[in-house]
C-alpha cells in the first residue's frame, strides 16, 4: 500500500517540478556570488572565493531549497563585504550531516558553526542531549547586532514557545508554516460560493457539489495527506477541533474521541466519493495539477498551486475554521541551530541577527523575501513593517489570527515515533482493515512501547 504522508518543504519543491521552482526563484533577487565547488569529506561545498589570509571563515550548512527560495547568497555577499575579520561560507546540506558533525565535535575538530533547517520542538532536545547543538542564549546576549536585545521578546508567542525549550533558546527562527486551506476559485464561482465556509460540515457540502459537477473530469471535491502528525489530514482537523492536543507525556491524543471523529470524517468523504479513496491518495500531485477543489495541509500549498495554475484559479491560503472549541491550527517554526563546539558562534549569531531579524534594511529585505514565498514571518516587527504595509499580503492577517490560537508543541524526542505509528494505523483504517477506535488504541499502545524501549 502506498503511503500518503505529509511532505517536507524540499519534497514539495521536487514534486512541483522545474516550473514552480522557477517561479519561486523569480520572486527572489538574483544570486550574484560566484562560487567554486570544492571537494570535502564533510559535504559537497559550494563556497565563495577563498577569504583573505587571516580572515575567519564562519562555515554554515544549509539546504539548497533555502538558498533557492530566499536571496541568501546576495545578502550574504553584501554582509561579507562589510566585515573586516570574518566571512560567512555556505556548504550544502547532505544526508548524514549530523553523524559527521557529531563525530567531529567529539574528536575536537568541528569546523561548522550552524545548520539550517531545524524544527526545534521536534529535534532540539534530542540533538542537545547527543551533544550536537548548544543554546543560542549566550551569543544573543553578547551580540551588538541591531535588534539582538529585542529579538526574543519580538518573536510571536507561539514561535517563542517552540524555540525556547526548558528555558533555553535552541532555535533561531526565520519563518513558520501553519496548517491552512485553499480552493479552486473557478469552481466556487460556478457554485455561487463567495468564500470558504466556516465549518468542516459546510466545507464538505461544497466539496460534494464540486465532485458532482466535475466528476467526468476526474476532479475530486476535497483532500489532504492521509497522515502527517498534527499538520495535515485528520491530525489537522483534530487540532482544529479540540482544546487538549497533547497528553501529559507530550503524546498527541490519537485515541481521543476528537481524533477518532476526525478520522471518520475523512473516511466518510472518500466513502462517498467526494475524496479519493483510500483517503490521502493522490496527495500532493492531484492538488498541484488542479484535480481537487479544496485542500488542506501546510498553508503554502496555495502559493505552490497558484504557481502551477495561476492566481486567478487558486485562492490565497485560507485559515482553517476558527471555532471556539478548537486550538486554531498547527504551527511549526523553521529555525537555525547552533552547533556544539562551534568555532565562531558569536560571528554566526551576529550574522543571523543582521540577516534574518527585521532590525536593519537587510533584515527587512529578507523578511520581504520570506513573505514573497508565502511563508509567515516569525517576528512581530516583520508583521508590522512588512505584512501590514503590503495589501497583497492581507491574507496573512487571517492566517496570523488563527495561528495566534495555536498550542506550541512541547519539546519532544518522540515526534518521529508518533508520526510513524499514527501514519501506519491511519492508513490501515482508511484501507478498511480496522475500525477507527481500534486503530488509534493500537497506535497509542505501540507509541508508548517504542518510547519505553527508547528510554530503557
Q: Is residue 189 part of a domain?
A: yes
Longest CA span, the chain: 70
Residue 20 banded pLDDT, cuts 50, 70, 90? very low
The confidence band for 410, taking pLDDT boundaries of 50, 70 and 90, is confident
Q: What is the CATH number of the domain that holds 201?
A: 3.40.190.10
> Would the pLDDT of 2 be above 80?
no
At 325 the pLDDT is: 81
Span 32-39, average pLDDT: 34
Would you state the cell numbers that stand for residue 44, as one nine-digit string? Answer: 559537497
- Max mean pLDDT among 218-222, 225-229, 452-456 falls in 218-222
Query: Within this chain, do residues 223 and 255 fall inside the same structural domain, yes or no?
Result: yes
**53: confidence class by pLDDT, cuts 50, 70, 90:** low
Same domain, 87 and 169: yes
Q: What is the mean pLDDT of residues 264-292?
A: 97
The reply to whether 271 and 340 lie within a common domain is: no
Q: Is 165 found in the same domain as 267?
A: no
Query: Does residue 237 lie within any of the structural domains?
Result: yes
Q: What is the DSSP string of 6-44?
A: ---HHHHHHHHHHHHHHHHHHTSPPP----EEE--SSS-
H or E segment at 154?
helix 151-154
Residues 6+ apart with CB under 8 A from 212: none
Give domain status of residue 110, yes or no: yes
Instruction: Give pLDDT, residue 303.
Output: 95
In a domain, 24, yes or no: no
Mean pLDDT of 76-91: 97
* DSSP 8-state code for residue 146: T
With cut-offs at 50, 70 and 90, classify the pLDDT of residue 232.
Answer: very high
Q: ∠ at Cα 215 (211, 219), nearest 5°?
A: 70
Residue 16: inside a domain: no
pLDDT band of residue 11 (cuts 50, 70, 90) is very low
Query: What angle do helix axes 9-26 and 301-309 make, rounded to 10 degrees?
Result: 50
- pLDDT in the model for residue 227: 86
Residue 19 has pLDDT above 90, yes or no: no
Let me know whether 170 and 221 are in one domain.
no
- Give Cα 334 to chain centroid, integer Å: 6
pLDDT on residue 350:
98
Q: Which of 121, 48, 15, 71 is nearest to 407 (CA)?
A: 121
Reported as a single tens digit per residue, the pLDDT across 187-196 is 999 999 999 9
Answer with the residue of higher pLDDT: 26 or 212.
212
Q: Which residues have CB under 8 Å from 191's CB, separation 6+?
A: 206, 209, 210, 213
Per-residue confidence (pLDDT) for residue 7, from 0 to 100: 47
Residue 160 shares a structural domain with residue 82: yes
How much of the chain exceeds pLDDT 70, in percent? 88
> Quick one: 148 and 117 in the same domain?
yes
Mean pLDDT, to the nearest integer, of 409-430? 93
Read off the pTM.
0.85
pLDDT given for residue 331 in this prediction:
95
CA–CA dist 20, 87 (Å, integer): 32
42 with 115, same domain: the answer is yes
- Specify the pLDDT at position 43: 45
pLDDT of residue 104: 98
Whole-number pLDDT of residue 4 = 39
Q: What is the pLDDT of residue 439?
A: 98
The mean predicted confidence, pLDDT, of the chain is 90
Estimate the crossing angle of helix 257-271 against helix 415-430, to 10 degrees: 40
Residue 166 has pLDDT above 50, yes or no: yes
Whether residue 111 is contained in a domain is answered as: yes
Rounded to whole angstroms, the Cα distance separating 176 from 180 reads 12
Angle between helices 345-356 and 72-81 (to 10 degrees): 120
Residues 114 and 204 in one domain: no
pLDDT, average across residues 280-306: 96
DSSP code per residue over 49-103: SPPPTT-EEEEEEE-HHHHHHS-HHHHHHHHHHT-SSEEEEEEE--TTHHHHHHH
Confidence tier at 50 by pLDDT (50, 70, 90): low
Residues 38, 112, single domain; the answer is yes
- Regarding whether 347 and 284 lie in a shared domain, the answer is no
Q: Please name every residue paired with 168 in a beta bridge, in sequence order, or none if there are none.
A: 165
pLDDT at 36: 33
277 and 362 co-located in one domain? no
Q: Does residue 1 register a pLDDT over 70?
A: no
Least confident of 17-21, 164-168, 434-438: 17-21
| Residue 424 within a domain | yes
Whether residue 15 lies inside any domain: the answer is: no
Start-to-end CA span in the chain (Å): 33
Size (the chain), residues: 456
pLDDT 10s digits, 105-118? 999 999 999 999 99
* pLDDT of 412: 84
Q: Does pLDDT of 6 surpass 70?
A: no
pLDDT at 26: 37
* Residue numbers of the domain that contains 245: 185-314+414-455
| Structural domain total, the chain | 2
pLDDT of 363: 98
pLDDT tier for residue 45 given thresholds of 50, 70 and 90: very low
Amino acid at each position: 500500500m502506498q503511503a500518503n504522508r505529509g511532505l517536507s518543504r524540499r519534497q514539495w519543491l521536487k514534486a512541483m517540478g522545474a516550473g514552480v521552482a522557477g517561479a519561486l526563484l523569480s520572486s527572489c533577487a538574483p544570486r550574484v556570488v560566484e562560487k567554486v565547488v570544492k571537494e570535502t569529506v564533510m559535504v559537497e561545498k559550494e563556497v565563495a572565493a577563498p577569504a583573505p589570509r587571516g580572515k575567519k571563515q564562519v562555515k554554515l550548512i544549509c539546504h539548497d531549497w533555502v538558498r533557492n527560495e530566499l536571496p541568501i547568497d546576495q545578502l550574504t555577499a553584501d554582509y561579507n563585504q562589510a566585515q573586516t575579520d570574518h566571512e560567512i561560507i555556505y556548504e550544502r546540506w547532505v544526508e548524514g550531516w549530523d553523524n559527521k558533525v557529531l563525530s567531529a565535535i567529539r574528536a575536537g575538530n568541528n569546523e561548522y558553526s550552524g545548520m539550517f533547517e531545524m524544527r526545534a520542538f521536534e529535534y532540539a532536545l534530542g540533538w542537545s542531549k547527543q551533544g550536537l547543538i548548544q543554546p543560542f542564549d549566550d551569543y544573543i546576549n553578547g551580540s551588538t547586532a541591531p535588534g539582538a536585545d529585542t529579538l526574543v521578546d519580538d518573536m510571536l508567542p507561539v514561535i517563542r514557545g517552540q524555540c525556547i525549550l526548558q528555558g533555553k533558546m535552541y532555535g533561531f527562527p526565520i519563518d513558520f508554516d501553519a496548517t491552512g486551506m485553499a480552493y479552486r476559485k473557478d469552481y466556487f464561482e460556478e457554485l455561487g460560493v463567495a468564500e470558504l465556509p466556516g465549518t468542516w460540515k459546510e466545507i464538505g457540502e461544497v466539496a460534494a457539489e464540486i465532485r458532482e459537477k466535475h466528476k467526468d473530469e476526474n476532479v475530486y471535491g476535497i483532500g489532504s495527506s492521509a497522515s502527517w502528525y498534527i499538520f495535515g489530514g485528520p491530525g489537522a482537523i483534530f487540532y482544529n477541533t479540540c482544546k487538549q492536543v497533547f497528553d501529559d507525556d507530550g503524546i498527541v491524543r490519537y485515541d481521543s474521541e476528537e481524533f477518532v471523529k476526525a478520522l471518520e470524517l475523512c473516511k466518510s468523504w472518500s466513502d462517498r466519493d467526494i475524496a479519493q479513496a483510500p483517503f490521502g491518495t493522490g496527495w500532493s500531485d492531484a492538488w498541484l495539477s488542479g484535480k481537487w477543489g479544496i485542500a488542506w495541509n501546510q498553508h503554502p500549498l496555495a502559493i505552490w498551486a497558484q504557481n502551477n495554475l495561476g492566481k486567478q484559479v487558486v485562492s490565497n491560503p485560507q485559515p482553517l475554521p476558527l471555532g471556539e472549541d478548537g486550538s486554531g491550527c498547527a504551527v511549526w517554526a523553521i529555525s537555525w541551530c547552533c552547533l556544539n563546539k562551534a568555532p565562531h558562534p558569536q560571528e554566526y549569531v551576529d550574522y543571523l541577527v543582521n540577516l534574518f531579524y527585521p532590525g536593519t534594511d537587510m533584515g527587512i529585505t529578507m523578511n520581504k523575501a520570506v513573505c514573497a514565498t508565502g511563508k509567515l514571518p516569525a517576528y512581530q516587527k516583520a508583521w508590522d513593517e512588512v505584512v501590514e504595509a503590503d495589501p497583497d499580503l492581507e491574507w496573512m492577517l487571517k492566517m496570523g489570527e488563527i495561528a495566534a490560537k495555536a498550542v506550541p508543541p512541547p519539546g519532544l524526542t518522540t515526534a518521529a515515533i508518533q508520526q510513524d505509528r499514527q501514519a501506519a494505523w491511519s492508513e490501515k483504517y482508511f484501507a478498511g482493515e480496522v475500525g477507527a477506535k481500534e486503530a488509534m488504541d493500537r497506535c497509542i499502545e505501540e507509541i508508548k512501547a517504542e518510547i519505553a524501549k527508547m528510554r530503557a
